[in-house]
Chain A
Amino acid sequence: MTTINEANPQELHTTTLPTATTLSKKERMTQETAAERLERVSAAAYRIRHHALNMGEVQGQGYVGQALGAADMLAVVYADQLRFRAEDPHWEQRDRFLLSTGHYAIGHYAALAEAGIVPVEELETYGSDDSRLPMSGMSTYTPGMEISGGSLGHGLTIAVGMALGLRYQGSDARIYNFLSDGELDEGSTWEAAMGAHHHQLGNLTAMVDINALQADGKTDTVLRTEPITEKWEAAGWYTQRVDGNDVAALLTAFDNAAEQSATSGRPSVILCDTKVGRGVTLLEEREKAHFMRIEEHEWQLCREQLTAGYEGKASA
C-alpha cells in the first residue's frame, strides 16, 4: 500500500493552509483528472513554500531563496511521485529521495512535513540546538532524510550504489537524487553519471535545480556549467529540460522519465530551470544571493505575497 499522508490543517500565522489529500498513487492515476492532479500538487508546493518562510523567520535567515525556487520540484516528488509510508520512513520498498544539496534541507523539511513524515509543529526547531532539523541535512538526524548531504557531489554516487543494490535484490523501488547546477562543478557527479549509464540504472532519476546561482555568484561567472543538456545527453542519460517552476511541465517530465526507464533502462535526468525566491515577488526581485537576508518585518509580507500569488493563480 502506498499513501500520501494527510497533513493536518495547520494554523500558521495568518494563513490556514489547504489540506493535503489521502489518495494512493494508483487511486490518483485512475480517479484524478489532470487538472485535479495539477491543483493538488500546486497546493502542496504552496504549503512547502509557506513552511519554508516560517522556518526562515525562526532563524532570521537561511536558504529560503533556494527552498522557494525548488518547492515545485519537491512537491512533485513528495505529493505525486514518491512511494513511501509516512509512519515507517525505513519501509524497505520505499522509493528513495536523496538530497545532495544539504543546504536545501529547509525545503526538504518542509516537504517532509507536507508528506507527514515530520510533524509540522517541529519545523520551528529548524537549525536550533538539539533539533532533528539541522541547517544542513543529515540522515542521522532526520526521519526521511536518506543521506547526509552538504559536501556536494556525493548524492549521485550514493544513488548509483543504492540503485545497483536495490536492483540486485529484485526491488522495483526508484531512486531520486536532487542536485543543483553548482554541484555539477564537482567531478564526482560526472563519475557517477558515467557509472549510472554504464550500469544501465533505469531505476535512477536525477533532478537538477538550475537556479544559475552558487556561493560566490552567478554560475556562469564562477564555473561555466552550460551546455548542461548536452553534457547529460553525452553521458548517456535520458535528458529533459523544463521550467522547474511549472508544475504541469514537471509532472509531464516525471511521467516521461518513468515511462522511458521502464523500456530503455537508461537513467533519467530532469533539468529544472528555477527562480530563486519563486512565489514571493519581493524576493524574486531582490538581488540574488546564495544566503538571502530577509529583514524581520519582511517575513509577514513574504507570506502575504506568497498567498496572494497562489490564490490569484488558483482562481485564475
Chain B
Amino acid sequence: MSATTEAPDTTAAAKPKLKTSAMIASFADPGQKTASAPFGHALVKAAQENDRIVGLTADLGKYTDMHIFAQAFPERFFQMGMAEQLLFGAAAGLAETGLVPFASTYSVFAARRAYDFLCLDAAEPNLNVNIVGGLPGLTTGYGPSHQATEDMAIFRGMPNLTIVDPCDSIDIEQAVPQLAASEGPTYLRLLRGNVPTVLDEYDYTFELGKAKVLRGGNDVVFVSSGLMTMRALQAAKALGEHNVDVAVVHTPTIKPFDAETVLAEINTDRLAVTLENHSVVGGLFETVASAVVSAGLGKRVVPVALPDEFLDAGALPTLHERYGLTVQRIVAKVLAELG
C-alpha cells in the first residue's frame, strides 16, 4: 500500500450541491405572493365573532398554525399532547357541550391513526368537530410516515364528513368561518406557513360545497382541487402559448361534491383532466369518475395525480417533478393527450 495515496477532496466546492428534504418545504414559487399562517389568523378572526370556537392540537400547534390561535385565546386552547385518539375524542366531547372545536394534527395521523375516534365520536352523532390536517398529499419530503397521499381516500367513506381541499390563502381564510358555521364534522387539508395567494386574481369566493369555474377555455377542461388548482391555472397559461385553450374548474369541497357544476363542464368535447395532490386512488379523480359514470356520460377523464405507491423522500420540487405535479409535467401530459 502506498503511503502517498492522495486524500479525497472533501471540500464543499468539490461536491455537487445537494437538494434537501426540509420538513415543511414551501410549494410557493420564488417571488410568489403569499400570506403567513392564513389558517391561524382566520381562526382567530372567526373566534372573535363566535365565542363557542375552541382550538386543540396534538403537540403540533406550531406546525399547523394553531399557535396563532393559542396565543390569541390561551383560555380557549387545549393542548392534548402527542395523543391523536384523545385529540379527536376530546374534540367530540367539547362539541357535545356546545362548543365548536378545531383540532389540528398532521393528515397522516388524522386519517390513519385516529380514524375510529373521528368516525364514531364525531361523525356518527354528526357533531360540529373540525379537523385540520397538515401536510396533505405530497407537501413534505419526509416520506410515507408524513405524506398523507391517501387521506381523502380514507375519509371519503366516512358518512357525514365534509372534506375541503383548499387552493390557497384566500380559500383557507374564507373556508374557516364556513366550516365553523356548518353542521357536522369537517376535514380541512391544511396549507400552512407562507401560503400562496392565487385566487384573488379571479372573480372567486369560496362557498362550501360549490365548485367554481375560474376561467373558460375551448380545448381542455381542468377539474382541480387543493394546491393543484394553482398549478392548473399556471399550466393553463403555459398551454396558451401552445395555442391550447384551457378552462379551469376549482372544486375545493371534495365531499359533498358539486357534481352538477363539474359535470356541466365535463360533458363537452373538450379533453377532461383532473388534477389533485393525492393518490390516483380514491380522491378527486375517482370522485369525478363516479359522477361521470352515474350520470351515464361516456366520457374519458385523464388523471393528474400521485401514483398508487409509497412515495420517495427528498426535496419537494424534485418529488413534484418526479410524480408529475409540476406545471411542466402537466403541460407535457396535456400536449401528449392532444397528440
Contacts and interface: CB of A to CB of B under 8 A. Distances in A.
A175 to B, nearest CB: 8
Interface stretch (A105-113, A154-162, A241-249, A265-273): A154-162
Contacts of B91: 161
B78 A164 contact: yes
B98 A148 contact: no
Interface in B229-274: none
Given A151-B120, A164-B94, A194-B83, A140 B89 contact: no
The SS class assigned to the B binding surface is helix
Interface string A180-217: 00000001100110110011000000000000000000
B121 A154 contact: yes
Contact of A169 (B95, B97, B124): B97
A60 interface: no
Contacts of B93: 157-165
B83 A195 contact: yes
A187 B85 contact: yes
B80 A195 contact: yes
Interface string B87-103: 01111111111110100
B98 A169 contact: yes
Contacts of B120: 148, 150-151, 154
A158 B92 contact: yes
Contacts of B125: 139-140, 147-148
A244 to B, nearest CB: 25
A96 B96 CA distance: 11
A156 B90 CA distance: 9
Interface in B67-121: 75-76, 78, 80-81, 83, 85-86, 88-99, 101, 116-117, 120-121
B316 to A, nearest CB: 32
Contacts of A187: 85
Given A157-B85, A157-B89, A161-B94, A168 B121 contact: no
B54 interface: yes
A155 B94 CA distance: 13
Contacts of B90: 157-158, 160-161, 164, 192, 195
A279 interface: no
A168 B86 contact: no
A153 interface: yes
A90 to B, nearest CB: 10
Contacts of B117: 154, 157, 188
14 contacts: A157-B90, A157-B117, A157-B121, A161-B92, A161-B95, A161-B96, A162-B93, A164-B90, A165-B99, A168-B99, A169-B98, A171-B97, A191-B85, A195-B80
8 A-B pairs with the lowest CB-CB distances in the bound complex, closest first: A161-B93, A157-B89, A161-B90, A165-B97, A191-B83, A188-B85, A162-B93, A191-B86
Interface of A: 96, 138-140, 146-148, 150-151, 153-154, 156-166, 168-169, 171, 187-188, 191-192, 194-195, 198-199
